[in-house]
Structure 1
Amino acid sequence: MEKTFWVKLKGWKKYTLGYIVLLMASHLVIWLFNQPLPPEQPTEQAVTVQVVKGDSISAERNIDIYYQDIYTGNKQEPPTLLLLPGGPEGPEVFDNLTTKLSDKYRLIIPHLPGYNNGKDHLHLPNYSFKTLAVYTNQLLEKLDLSNIHVLGYGLGGASAIYLSHDYPRKVASLSLVSSIGVQELELLGSYRLNHAVHGIQLTTVWVLHNAIPHFGLLNAIGINVSYARSHYQSDQRPLRAHLKAYKKPMLILHGKKDPLVPMVAAKEHHRIVPQSVLKRYNADHDLIETKADSVSLAIKEFVDDVENGRATIASNASEERIQEAQKKFSNMDFQKFKGVSLLIIMLIIVLATFVSEDLTCIGAGLLAARGLIGFWPATIACFIGIFLGDMGLYFVGRFMGRAAVRRAPFKWMISERDLDKSADWFKVRGPAIIIASRFLPGSRLPTYFSAGVIGAGFWMFSGYFLLAATIWTPMLVGISKLLGNELIRYFSLYHNYAIWVLLGTIFFLIMLVKVILPAFSYKGRRLLVSRYRRLTRWEYWSPFLLYAPVFCYVLYLGIKHRCLTLFTASNPALPDGGFVGESKVDILNQFCDTDVAAYQLINGDADFYEKERQAKLFMEENSLSFPVVLKPDVGERGRGVKVIRNDHAMQIYLDEAQGDKIIQEYIAGKEFGIFYYKIPGEQRGNIYSLTVKKLPKVTGNGQKTIEELILEDDRAVSMAKYHLRENEDHLYDVPEQGEEVTIVDLGTHARGAVFEEGSDLITDKLTEAMEQICKPVSGYYFGRFDIKAPSQEKLKNGEQLTVLEVNGVSSESTNIYDQRYSFWDAQQVLMKQWKLAFEIGKQNYLNGVDPTPTFTFLNRVFHAIKKG
């Protein structure tokens, strides 16, 4: 019985598909339940308003704003009290107050966008506090209300402040309950720091909503993207000026134990608004729920005073309060985080250490200097984060081993060469390295990871690590705290320039490390020259830049020929014409009747001993001695190709090898790249281009080291870092006068070989020899051969040619890397090459060869890139 599609799936593919199905089902359920709903209560109504886009109202789209309009008294025109919720709840947050106030005031409670999803208000351009004030004003315009009393709770307080400033005729008085306000006393105090925190919050909530199948649960508990966006899109910096400009009565109600908005914020609002009244409660942020009776009483007394002209306004505030309001805000006047807020800030510090340990310690020290957090809580939070992160590196190395270096994100930060060096050092001086790495930023990841890979004892590692971290963490936090006390005094004056000073400092430090300091040494100056050459000479640019115009041209050809993959029919003998992911052995097997350098496939699934046995048996059967060549069966641009000169080098290569490999006879002589093509139906093929490959050498003078000779050489310096790394075992050898030292042993441009135009070597005899090489292979019309010959004369005569490798449709005409070719010259050569590929593919198509279907081709390319 044929297996079902689900049964055929294995491992991660099955789980991934199942997860995708769940995620799609979750989004469908959420979409169905987010359709517009009828009013939840009899008192709930709706008005249609225009969507706010940027700082203006857009006529392109309308939304309904639901609101509760409640009055249980018997007056004809009672005072109107607008209650603005603070989120993530909607109007329900005022339930305990409405029954106590509705008999005396007409209560308008809007269901604003972003709070409890704001009904069906999803995917709006903006949810900021200022924007919500604009929506509120539209609501008041529709209801023809003005000169009303406004109460803002929590985040709603910020919208209330914006409303009173931007639409002063609408507001008779302002009440702030557990309200946020001035920027300096919100979270970390800095707009930019808070913006970064809210950005992380928004990203996290968005990922939770869109990448986790929660079926609406997150919405039900108040975690929604629009509410997170209201934080991220808001700017509290103008609120201080708005509060100072406010001249009408103000009531401030705040809990002394509020963990979200510290009491010091309410005190600051009270200070800068001299006519304001401040009432403190022995309560937390849920003031209107836990102290509903006293809060409602305070509101009634305040509104009555306003209505009867007894409330204080700015013009009749006391002189003492006015003078106090005119004082500048001191950046030192902070209140330490306590309780839940302290735990939150410590958690932020712990998470921040995963990004940068030292910067987090410095930041924590500055927070301690500003009085936001105590020295020891800051130090403990840093220590916990450092311990979790660095011990995590150790365990990743311990349980994932060397294979982890080949995977993201470790392969972005550490190479196998770094790992080898760290492991060697660790074996000799493990404890000293653990302690030293704590004081040397940049050395920790390879050190701790290496400790795990080589199986360093857990108790030994953790003991020395704890000792180093115990010394380093409080020292760095403490130094930052001491310096911060002085720096913060000046920061309050120059805070407008702080970000530019910081960016300038970072830029200067980068230039200092990357340019200025290296320029003081000969090696440093030559490496700067190397970097400049690689930036200014196109032959060293990324293939993505080189092939961007070519890619566009290939798309044009595909559209012109009405088949995007027509080029895959250019070589019927190769999968997809030999575009990507083809097996080198499978191709060479088709040319086995020609002069191909001896080769054999080594199974990548075999263990090390079996690989070594196969390699040695191959050498015995073919009477070969070292050197030999080892390379991947699937690969390009010389990746993983190595000339092996002894048993030890072979053992290292095979031990680290992943995937199938080829062992091949090393052929002495000159290497050439010959691009061959043949139009189907024609009697004879043609040579499109010929490249002479030269291995760069340096010549000794009996005085300079190989390192100095590489740096001095005008060509070799362009790839100096690569050459120095590949020759590190004998960098400090001093060659004799006239002695030539080859610094590259592979004829690959990406590995430093010099490519020169060799069109003058193309002869009828060479063309005939290439025709004889390709003749036994039915279905090969287009591609490049890597060939060796004893000399250029032998090559011209088509004699003693040995094929090393055969490439398909995606192979380059490598003569473009001759220094005489400009970037646009190279583009013309490559475009003409691809034009030929399409023409040959078209002829084969007319002869009955089907190109690879587009989606099949893209799927194969994707998997080939993923494996690579």
Structure 2
Amino acid sequence: MKLKLLGVTGWKRYLLVYIMLLVASHLVAWLFDSPINQDNGADQKVMLQVVGAQDQLHPQTVEVAYEDYFQGSKVDKPTIVLLAGGPEGPEVFDQLRPKLSTDHRVIVPHLPGYGPSEEELPDYSFQALATYSKQLVRKLGLQQVHVVGYGLGGASAIHWAHNAGEQIESITLLSSIGVQELELLGGYTLNHAVYSIQLAAVWLLHNAIPHFGLFDALSINVEYAKSYYESDQRPIRSYLEAYKKPMLILHGEEDALVPLAAAQEHHRIVPQSKLKLYQADHDLVKTHSDSVSQTIGHFIKDVGTGEALTYAEASSERIQEAEKPFSNVDFAKFKGFSLLIIMLLIVVSTLISEDLTCIGAGLLAARGLIGFWPATLACLTGIFIGDVGLYLMGRFVGRSAVRKAPFKWFISEDDLDKSAEWFHRKGPMIIMASRFLPGSRFPTYFSAGVIGAGFWMFVGYFLLAAIIWTPILVGISQLLGNELLHYFSMYQDYAIWVFLGLVALLIMIAKVFIPAFSYRGRRLLVSRYRRLTRWQYWSLFLLYIPISCYIFYLGIKHRCVTLFTLANPEIPDGGFVGESKSAILSKFDDQYVGAFKLLHVDEKAESRIQQACSFMEEYERSFPVVLKPDIGQRGKGVRIVRSKEELKEYIQQTKTDLIIQEFIGGQEYGIFYYRFPNAAKGKIFSITTKNLVYVQGDGQRTMEELILDDDTAVTLAKYHLKQHEERLYDVPEKGEQVNVVELGTHARGAVFEEGEVLKTKVLERKLNEICNHTSGFYFGRLDLKAPTEEKLKRGEGLKVIEVNGVTSESTNIYDNEYSFFKGIGILCKQWKVAFEIGNQHRRQGGTPSSFGGFLKRTFKTLLEERSR
């Protein structure tokens, strides 16, 4: 049956096919263990204890295979243990093993992660592999062995010698990694981040791509990636400094995976060590197996006869050289394949953050890991690929993509329209400017593709801007980095913090110092400062952390966390979230509520537009009118429309239930009201005066200048500038008053003031008259309008425009005179009342919402709001 017949079309069809293939792939791999036959030759096995973090032995056991090669009798033959280090497993020793076994007994463990040994173990680090090797030697009854470590196996050998030196006669480091400073990017934190990316990529390759077991033949598997991710090379330097027995170091001068500088540094800090270099790469063990086997054989013979040096026999010159501190400035630059890998990482990183990658590349150049021009070229290549990709994405995907994830997370249709308008007027200038304005590139380049801007014109100007900007940013980072390099060597453990501090400094220059040179930039800095220093503009998350703890405490006290949902028993969940504004308003007497009508989303846009027009005719209302979502928070989606064209546009673009409501003049107030079920009258908890923000024209300054100059409007300047972007360069007439804020919402810029002086007994009686006859409403905030302040006090001419339930705030806390802790105190008092009202309703037989159902509804509503 075709997928189409099952109702699966479009991208869902491809997703379903992918899931089916992925399930089939894992099933095949599980049933057949792997269609690739890997003959590893390990016919001997032993049970060892599982090794966990920090070399802790678990009571569980794991079966580990190993190869045991010897010619003639095992007696009196020196024993060599060959430790592989990936990405290849023990097969890397296939050419070396028979040559060594003529005069030695050779043990090749197939350690976890390599070969047929059990998988899914708690630790694959080189430390754990050393402990498995130590157990294996003890199980075989061997007293002392010579260890040859290849790659990561070299680190295992060093760790083994440090923790169980009595088992080790000598160590041979073969193309071995070692000290942290000369591994990859030179620091644990940075390397760990790279290894985490490697692990994620390898895991996805093996588990998220249908391959039916074919990828199991790859040498790079999840266990190998884990071995690097879970390893910590920081102690290796101290282990090498403490090592006193003979050591042989064999390394290729052209090794692209482990730099030659690593072998040279190991040789320096182990004064008794012997270093032999080859004209070879990392595959030294394969390409020079004859020479390597002979060198190892002679070395082991010298150890047996006492001719190989120990630390006590090393020269004083070598010991003095070993005692010198290591300098990061002596890093060798990446070359060959290593340079290519680093440049590739830089290219990929630019797709995440262009500017931060340029800064990071400059710091790598400052540390000597990469040259200035390779760093700049890599950054420029990544920027070119990413930005041309944005253009082509816009060209071929089109405007419809902006309404869908993930594009709508980064760019809105408003951004698109704005960028398109810019292109039509000053395309080349905008392309050039966007390179120097972080955050503007995505909408600019994407919209260039959407509107069909000339490809070669786009490429030419953006490439010119990138060629100017990229060397400057990389160069500044390198220049500043050079001044800080000596701190890296003195405080190696704090290198990552120095790095982050330098990045923060560069961001500070871009975000603070440079903007401070323009008036607009300075006023936006004032805006940012005010939002940071006035808690009323902080994230609600910070405000509700202590409030949530108090709510949880009240829930424990009353033995019901959701007891507050009974504060308004006839409103779903008491009006916590997702309540219908129209349903609540319909509970009130029409004489107290502004006229409104619900427009259902399941009806066609044309029908909703006709209903809106009919509403205006029925109530004899003219524009402006208010349109807003029936379910929404903090003024989101609320708009005052002033023409039929605006009304049509809003309804056509909004895919949710809407309310059309008459526009009521006068001053807006927020009155928080509550009444206990056993009380005849309720009380006013608080009153907030909601002041809209206006600017007055002088015939000279633009709208943008008026907003930035106004001491009140500047606090949310970015929001106001965006809201009025179509008229920012208009110059209002002298004396003309222009609304900056039209909605009585603090999050949208309205100024809230404490209105305690407005509370009167007459007003309280009026509120009781309005609310006492409303079914199921006992607790919440009424947003209403009154013609004047005096009429509010007398309870005359009041019109309710919105009613909010249990999560509504006593908005007087947003008065700038209130401290953060005072605001928390008011909200805690508010929630205490909610629980007490809910408790009385419970005693009268009410049932609060179940905790599971409450959470499910809450998360569903929040996700729906986020998707709109």
TM-score, normalized by length of structure 2? 0.81
Query: SS of the counterpart of 1:581?
Result: coil
User: Is the contact made by 1:365 and 1:480 (CA closer than 8 Å) also made in structure 2?
Assistant: yes
Partner of 1:3: none
1:239, CA displacement in angstroms? 4.8
Partner of 2:78: 79
Please say if 1:800 is aligned against 2:785.
no
Query: SS of the counterpart of 1:261?
Result: coil
Match for residue 782 of structure 1 among 766, 773, 779: 779
User: Is the contact made by 2:580 and 2:630 (CA closer than 8 Å) also made in structure 1?
Assistant: yes
User: Is the contact made by 1:65 and 1:139 (CA closer than 8 Å) also made in structure 2?
Assistant: no
Shift in alpha-carbon separation, 1:519–1:616, aligned structure 2, 3 A: same
Partner of 2:47: 46
Match for residue 809 of structure 2 among 807, 812, 815: 812
Match for residue 663 of structure 2 among 661, 666, 684: 666
Q: Quick one: distance in 2 between partners of 1:626 and 1:198?
A: 61
User: Is the contact made by 2:699 and 2:731 (CA closer than 8 Å) also made in structure 1?
Assistant: no
Q: Quick one: distance in 1 between partners of 2:245 and 2:450?
A: 69
1:708, CA displacement in angstroms? 7.3
Moved more, 805-814 or 822-831: 822-831
User: Is the contact made by 1:785 and 1:807 (CA closer than 8 Å) also made in structure 2?
Assistant: yes
Q: Deviations over 1:363-403 (max 9, x none)?
A: 65776898877888766644442233213323444466567
Please say if 1:625 is aligned against 2:626.
no
Partner of 1:853: 850
Shift in alpha-carbon separation, 1:428–1:605, aligned structure 2, 3 A: farther
Partner of 2:154: 157
1:630, CA displacement in angstroms? 2.4
Q: Quick one: distance in 1 between partners of 2:806 and 2:209?
A: 42
CA root-mean-square deviation: 5.0
1:425, CA displacement in angstroms? 1.4
Alignment of 1:301-380 (within 5 A): 301-311=298-308, 334=332, 337-338=335-336, 341=338, 343-361=340-358
Moved more, 205-214 or 428-437: 205-214
Shift in alpha-carbon separation, 1:76–1:425, aligned structure 2, 3 A: same
Q: Quick one: distance in 2 between partners of 1:472 and 1:519?
A: 23
Partner of 1:119: 118
Shift in alpha-carbon separation, 1:578–1:14, aligned structure 2, 3 A: farther
Q: Quick one: distance in 1 between partners of 2:670 and 2:229?
A: 57
User: Is the contact made by 2:249 and 2:275 (CA closer than 8 Å) also made in structure 1?
Assistant: yes
Match for residue 68 of structure 1 among 66, 69, 89: 66
Q: Quick one: distance in 2 between partners of 1:476 and 1:525?
A: 24
User: Is the contact made by 1:272 and 1:324 (CA closer than 8 Å) also made in structure 2?
Assistant: yes
1:428, CA displacement in angstroms? 0.9
Partner of 1:755: 752
Match for residue 566 of structure 1 among 558, 563, 566: 563
User: Is the contact made by 1:147 and 1:169 (CA closer than 8 Å) also made in structure 2?
Assistant: yes
Q: Deviations over 1:603-630 (max 9, x none)?
A: 5577777766655554444333333222
1:74, CA displacement in angstroms? 1.4
Shift in alpha-carbon separation, 1:223–1:797, aligned structure 2, 3 A: same
Q: Deviations over 1:18-40 (max 9, x none)?
A: 99999999999999999xxxx99
User: Is the contact made by 1:692 and 1:757 (CA closer than 8 Å) also made in structure 2?
Assistant: yes
Query: SS of the counterpart of 1:44?
Result: strand
Q: Quick one: distance in 2 between partners of 1:811 and 1:485?
A: 51
1:80, CA displacement in angstroms? 1.9
Partner of 2:580: 583
Q: Quick one: distance in 1 between partners of 2:269 and 2:822?
A: 70
The one-letter amino acid paired with 2:812 is: N
The one-letter amino acid paired with 1:81 is: I
Q: Quick one: distance in 2 between partners of 1:581 and 1:244?
A: 65
Shift in alpha-carbon separation, 1:41–1:656, aligned structure 2, 3 A: same
Q: Quick one: distance in 2 between partners of 1:466 and 1:203?
A: 33
Q: Deviations over 1:294-315 (max 9, x none)?
A: 5444433332333234546677
User: Is the contact made by 1:88 and 1:116 (CA closer than 8 Å) also made in structure 2?
Assistant: no
Please say if 1:695 is aligned against 2:696.
no
Q: Quick one: distance in 1 between partners of 2:355 and 2:705?
A: 37
Alignment of 1:502-651 (within 5 A): 502-512=499-509, 530-591=527-588, 593-602=590-599, 615-646=612-643, 650=647
Partner of 2:195: 198
Shift in alpha-carbon separation, 1:684–1:366, aligned structure 2, 3 A: closer
Aligned length: 851
Shift in alpha-carbon separation, 1:337–1:80, aligned structure 2, 3 A: same
User: Is the contact made by 1:629 and 1:665 (CA closer than 8 Å) also made in structure 2?
Assistant: yes
The one-letter amino acid paired with 1:68 is: Y
Shift in alpha-carbon separation, 1:463–1:253, aligned structure 2, 3 A: same
Query: SS of the counterpart of 2:590?
Result: coil
1:634, CA displacement in angstroms? 1.7
Shift in alpha-carbon separation, 1:486–1:747, aligned structure 2, 3 A: closer
User: Is the contact made by 1:97 and 1:288 (CA closer than 8 Å) also made in structure 2?
Assistant: yes
1:171, CA displacement in angstroms? 3.0
Q: Deviations over 1:617-670 (max 9, x none)?
A: 544443333332222222111122223345665566456544333332111112
Q: Quick one: distance in 1 between partners of 2:576 and 2:488?
A: 62
Query: SS of the counterpart of 2:591?
Result: coil
Q: Quick one: distance in 1 between partners of 2:425 and 2:104?
A: 81
Partner of 1:228: 225
Q: Quick one: distance in 1 between partners of 2:230 and 2:207?
A: 20
Q: Quick one: distance in 2 between partners of 1:367 and 1:463?
A: 29
User: Is the contact made by 1:361 and 1:477 (CA closer than 8 Å) also made in structure 2?
Assistant: yes
Partner of 1:430: 427
Partner of 2:37: none
1:86, CA displacement in angstroms? 0.9
1:714, CA displacement in angstroms? 6.1
What percent identity do the matched residue pairs reach?
57
User: Is the contact made by 1:65 and 1:110 (CA closer than 8 Å) also made in structure 2?
Assistant: no
The one-letter amino acid paired with 2:621 is: L
Q: Quick one: distance in 2 between partners of 1:844 and 1:29?
A: 59
Q: Quick one: distance in 2 between partners of 1:29 and 1:685?
A: 69
Shift in alpha-carbon separation, 1:240–1:536, aligned structure 2, 3 A: closer
Partner of 2:861: 864
Q: Quick one: distance in 2 between partners of 1:789 and 1:111?
A: 83
Q: Quick one: distance in 1 between partners of 2:327 and 2:243?
A: 17
For structure 2, which runs of at least 5 residues remain unmatched after alignment? 34-39
User: Is the contact made by 1:704 and 1:735 (CA closer than 8 Å) also made in structure 2?
Assistant: no
The one-letter amino acid paired with 1:45 is: V
1:748, CA displacement in angstroms? 1.6
Alignment of 1:665-684 (within 5 A): 665-680=662-677, 683-684=680-681
User: Is the contact made by 2:327 and 2:489 (CA closer than 8 Å) also made in structure 1?
Assistant: no
TM-score, normalized by length of structure 1? 0.81
Q: Quick one: distance in 2 between partners of 1:363 and 1:824?
A: 41
Partner of 1:180: 177
User: Is the contact made by 2:182 and 2:331 (CA closer than 8 Å) also made in structure 1?
Assistant: no
1:514, CA displacement in angstroms? 5.1
The one-letter amino acid paired with 1:78 is: K
1:48, CA displacement in angstroms? 3.9
The one-letter amino acid paired with 2:629 is: P
User: Is the contact made by 1:51 and 1:61 (CA closer than 8 Å) also made in structure 2?
Assistant: no
User: Is the contact made by 1:334 and 1:370 (CA closer than 8 Å) also made in structure 2?
Assistant: no
The one-letter amino acid paired with 2:47 is: A
User: Is the contact made by 1:116 and 1:219 (CA closer than 8 Å) also made in structure 2?
Assistant: no
Query: SS of the counterpart of 1:68?
Result: strand
User: Is the contact made by 2:365 and 2:478 (CA closer than 8 Å) also made in structure 1?
Assistant: no
